[in-house]
Chains A and B, each alone.
Chain A
Amino acid sequence: MIKSPILFAGALSAALAFSQTSHAADPDPRDWDAVLQEAKGQTVYFNAWGGSENINLYIDWAGQTLKERFGVTVVHVKLDDTANAVATVLAEKAAGKSEGGSVDLIWINGENFASMKRQDLLMAPDWTTSLPNWAYVDHETKPTILTDFTIPTDGLESPWGGAKMVFFHDTARTPADSVPGSSAELLDWAERNPGRFSYPQPPDFIGSSFLKQVLSETIADPAKLSQKVNAASFAEDAAPLFAYLDRLHPNLWRSGKAYPQNYPDMKQKLADGELDIIFAFNPSEASAGIAAGELPDTVRSFTYTEGTLGNTHFVAIPYNASAKAGALVLANFLISPEAQLRKQDPSVWGDPTVLSMDKLSAEDRAAFEALDLGIATLRPDELGPALDEPHPDWMERIEGEWLKRYGAAN
């Protein structure tokens, strides 16, 4: 064993020396034929949350289509938290691995995007607006496509789908006229129906979003949410949120001693009758669940009259990705009318499109209009106003505070 430290050091320096080789030029999406040429034969490791079967199947379909048409292989690396992929890229950067990285494309938005952008972990400069299918993207009327949680996207992430927080209930147990229309009413409802509401445990994305929804409704000065957290006034700004949670938690499912894993878990619990009101960031979630035989066909949707959080989710390419050309081809395919149409179909996924109907061909537009959004999906005009996402800084601070207050609650 005496030789081991020397071996260790030698291997280490060899690895570091190896990693300092020169940087190959990134593919240029303006020369799309060259991108397609380079992409052929590449394998794209698409790091995307893998907790939902219908999404996994959709990614699978996209991968097969890419394989057939462009010779690009797509491998879905199923994450349980997108932060893991960010951590991977960051660890590679720390180890000096500036090319040949293990993440090629990453499904992202909000705090993870902010973190990657801040630390220069993304392929730059602007590549998204040069994608051929960008021509169809509705960046004029959907502000969250260019501003992700108050952070300008600067073309470093390509939109994939729209999201809006929507609640679901089973009319067989919970009549439509009894559902709450705001966070305050939800609290009353939970007090009347103890043990029948919960939210995924932060830092789960949907769970943290619930906290932000309550924060947006309870903070004295909502304008503060578009800025970074002011450390001096944070306690005061967040006080109404935590007062709310202190009242809510005793009436949560399992009295707040355990939480659902994430939103598909809540969906299962709605079907089991453990929960009566659940929520997701996808307005078609209930219809998709009914189509998949996971939810009874008596489930319906509702939102708050004063609005719920709305945002866009994206895909981004890490600066050290191994298959950048292939990743560009996949990102472009994901915003094609064909892929977006399929994605919005509740029997597939039901995720709202990021494309502008006005920019589509008459044929594509007709196809979108002909989509049956499902019995449990609200029409776009019934979805209510969309609240802006707070600055990502808020999410981090609130998650930390949540953990401090409730993380060792038992």
Chain B
Amino acid sequence: MHGNRSKGGDFFSVKRSKLILSDGVSFEGDVPSWQAEGQIGEVVFSTGMTGYTESLTDPSYSGQILVFTYPLIGNYGIDESSYESLRIYASGVVVDTLEHDWSHSKSTKSLLQWLKEQNVPIIFNVDTRALTKYLRTRGTTIGSIGKSAEKIASIKPFTKFVRLENPREFIKKGAKKVILVDCGSKENIVRSLSSMPISLKVVPYDYDYTESENYDGVFISNGPGDPQDYKQTIEIIKKALKIGKPVYGICLGSQLLALASGAKTYKMQFGNRGHNQPCIDLETKKCYITSQNHGYAVDDKSLPTNWKVIFRNLNDNSVEGIAHKTKPFYAVQFHPEACPGPTDTSFIFERFYKSL
């Protein structure tokens, strides 16, 4: 069993600080004394009880300060094999009890060491429940660890995610060719698709695969930010819909598909982030627990008549999945690839494969 012991020295020295929101409300906590004044981000909370490594490396969190509602974070250290991308994308972390001493056979470092290496600020010993309840009533808001309210009020932190400059052939295991549009894809979407006997090409959000590629299906990934900002991506999807080959989407991908179909999206008050979101398949009445991380949703009233809602959230009734009534266009708001979270809906990938 491995584990990290307190080594003493500066690494563990702390100072009092605050998480300051753009409306001036602040929440007290401690920060490492070596930590620079924090970056700005949209403050969002996730109710997942495990999976901090997966969440922090999920590109959908770029530009966001992530509050963990579970109060003990860092217990099992950091295991690189559970990264969902090459680095931490969240721009800050808020926790209650930060565990320095970790224990797991696969891990190599503590959460704090990792954050320090990647220069991502953290604030701990925060009343995260009070903060969560505030965000729930006030709605998602911009904030900063340590910076004053005036400085952050005017800043819009989000920029589109670009991981790939150019398209990349990923694997070639079969005749069917699949395009994965990478708007900030989690690694497990790539893993899930590449476990199938297909050829996979991963392309950036602005790459027009309808012009240059001879494909059998398109898969649009998750990603950060407001879907309406992805104008180019939407235009390309519109073309893909005309071509009529299967188009599937996850999370942001489902919102982009909705926008391409002519429907609208809206910003939710505080989004759904966690591993316990219950969804119902409206046709089979079968229910699933899903992993989610989104602040925008599809407006069901705006869906064109040849489209339908296929999944709904059992708690707030929001749209969790849409599909075309006759064509192979299908998208879900939740994360069938899990990581973090439950694996109930991994069948979505099989369904995609069968549609090819």
Binding partners A and B: no
